[in-house]
Amino acid sequence: MQIRSIQQPDNPALAKIIRATLTEFGANHPGTVYYDASTDALFELFQKSRSVYYVAENEDGQIIGGGGIFPTEGLPNDTCELVKMYLLPEARGKGIGRSIIEKCLQTAKDLGFVQIYIESMPELKQALKVYERFGFSYLKAPLGNSGHFGCELWMIKTL
């Protein structure tokens, strides 16, 4: 398994993983990344300053997931968002998600962020448990302006 930075040819595979995962958990509703045009152009999205997206590949070079950090509009300058954290079913439970999150947290620190924020949904119970183990705590309201009105849960962690 290898974790690397996103490349332009990764866009179709990542969009497919994101949409398939949201469908799998019944979270493919309006106001989520399922309907974002940027889901089909992640490489281009993550060219923004102070953003990064990591891609996980298996030993055969197949993309099996990814996740990143992004300075979402409306967040304080010292806060980024953990975004588009999705894995194929066969990649789950093997520490790959943990490795991506750890890499994102370290990169966020290195880029000068003090807090990291997450928007999620109740349907993504497994992911919520992982975020809790990383020390994220729940907020009563969203931060920033992600445009994801379909996300009903918000979390934050001090780095």
- Which alpha helices (DSSP H) does the chain contain, by range? 11-24, 42-45, 96-110, 125-133
pLDDT of residue 78: 97
For residues 70 and 51, the answer to whether their CB atoms sit within 8 Å is yes
Domain count, the chain: 1
Nearest to 115 by CA among 141, 143, 140: 143
pLDDT of residue 148: 86
Indicate which CATH number applies to the domain containing 29.
Answer: 3.40.630.30
Q: Considering the entire predicted model, what is its pTM?
A: 0.95
Boundaries of domain holding 17: 2-158
pLDDT in tens, the chain (159 residues): 999 999 999 999 999 999 999 999 999 989 899 999 999 999 999 999 999 999 999 999 999 999 999 999 999 999 999 999 999 999 999 999 999 999 999 999 999 999 999 999 999 998 999 999 999 999 999 998 888 888 999 999 999
Q: How far is CA 134 from the centre of its chain?
A: 14
